[in-house]
Amino acid sequence: MIEDDPAGEVAIGADVFVDDGAGLSVAVVGAGAVGATCAYDLARRGTEVTLFERGSVGSGSSGRAAGVCYDAFADRVDAEIGRESIERFRRLSGDDTFPFTECPYVWFAREGDDDVAREVSASVERMQSHGIVAVEMDGELLGDRFEALRTDDVAVAGVSGGAGYTDPGRYTACLAAAASGAGATIRTDTAVELSTDPPGVIVPGSGESEPFDAVVVTAGSHTKRLIADAGIPIPMKPYRVQALVADEPYTEPMCFDASADVYVRPHPDGLLAGDGTERVEADPDSWNRDASAGFAESVLAEVSHRFPAFDPSTVRAWAGLCTATPDGNPLVGEIEDGVFLATGFQGHGFMRAPAIGDRLARQVLGEIGIDAFDPCRFDGDESFDIVPGMTIESDS
């Protein structure tokens, strides 16, 4: 619930209004989960914020996200961001904001998949070294813990308790509303172009740039073209991913079969499952929003294998867009004087939005950014292959 604190300051839950951004004007381009969060975190710090969105709030990738949220990252920086996001999802959620349902997260390798099995074990060890509550289990222990799972073919599994799921559309709408309540101006159905000297945006038809002290581009798959038109190249590729919802009731756990590249989570309508990463670059202005032929059948076969009691009567499937980078890390921070961006999340953007939005807002206001995500680490013309974000990788 958006509340007024005793000093008359706008807040969501425990968040409070401060004035360290007073006197600055910032444009945020893209009202997905990261953009809405960043706009809110800037506005609650006293910044004059305008949030531009070419469609409606959450109408892009955020509205098609799976809503899986966890802190089970083996890399130190990712683990820190994941932990911050989970804590904030918990704190901001509620009956009047958006739901957040606690649910354990399991990832595992099948018998015979020795390389992935070793990587699962190694990832658990690295998570533990970063303070993530994660444990390793064999198939028998996993089956004892989660009776709905078939585990006789599981070689090794990791289990994390710091996880849950939510409704991405409701989260994004809530944060946009909170930004508005904190004083931000939201301009939907407004596609803009980027200007850089000075920072600003051009609304087509006006012919003139609206100047700002800073511009933050969080336009998802459209980010690359938007900033390229302003002469700033980045190595990012949009790609299609697919998911489905089946009406069979399911409660826990969320899990990722690393050998089959299939994930599942509970959903208000039953069970949500996905894989279907297409390793080709997609056109963000012209792409197929429907699932590919055969996608649902192949995923349902994997789900039925893992959950023997699974027997849905109805299924709906769809596609969304994710964004990839050469090293699998996102591009977050200042790329040119007064121009900031956040993109390239490899399918993990929504689950990290609460922390990324806050950190990006802080960087705009003069704090240090996230070195590992610095967009200036690339020249912008790098050639690379698309690799699915939900994979288990070794240290090598």
Position 275 pLDDT exceeds 50: yes
Position 10 pLDDT exceeds 70: no
**Alpha-carbon span 183 to 50, nearest angstrom:** 9
pTM of the model: 0.92
Domain annotation for the chain: domains and CATH numbers: 15-64+168-236+326-377 (3.50.50.60), 102-162+237-324 (3.30.9.10)
List Cβ neighbours of 337 (8 Å cut-off, separation of 6 or more).
196, 199
**Alpha-carbon span 292 to 288, nearest angstrom:** 9
pLDDT single digits (tens) 219-271:
999 999 999 999 999 999 999 999 999 999 999 999 999 999 999 999 999 99
**Alpha-carbon span 29 to 187, nearest angstrom:** 10
pLDDT single digits (tens) 143-168:
999 999 999 999 999 999 889 999 99
**Alpha-carbon span 152 to 144, nearest angstrom:** 11
Backbone dihedral angles phi then psi of residue 225, each to the nearest 5 degrees = -70, -40
pLDDT single digits (tens) 45-57:
999 999 999 999 9
**Alpha-carbon span 333 to 328, nearest angstrom:** 16
**Alpha-carbon span 72 to 211, nearest angstrom:** 41
Distance of CA 15 to the CA centre of its chain: 21
Distances (CA, A) of 313 to 67, 276, 298: 23, 22, 16
> Residue 389's pLDDT band (boundaries 50, 70, 90)?
low
**Alpha-carbon span 332 to 370, nearest angstrom:** 7
Q: Which uninterrupted H or E stretch holds 357?
A: helix 349-364
pLDDT single digits (tens) 36-81:
999 999 999 999 999 999 999 988 888 888 899 999 998 999 999 9
**Alpha-carbon span 295 to 240, nearest angstrom:** 12
Alpha helices for 197-308 (secondary structure H): 223-228, 295-306
Distances (CA, A) of 232 to 52, 242, 341: 20, 30, 11
C-beta separation of 14 from 39 below 8 A: no
Please give the mean pLDDT across all residues of the chain: 91
Q: Average pLDDT of 192-216?
A: 91
Give the dihedral sign, CA 121/122/128/134: negative
Backbone dihedral angles phi then psi of residue 371, each to the nearest 5 degrees = -55, -45
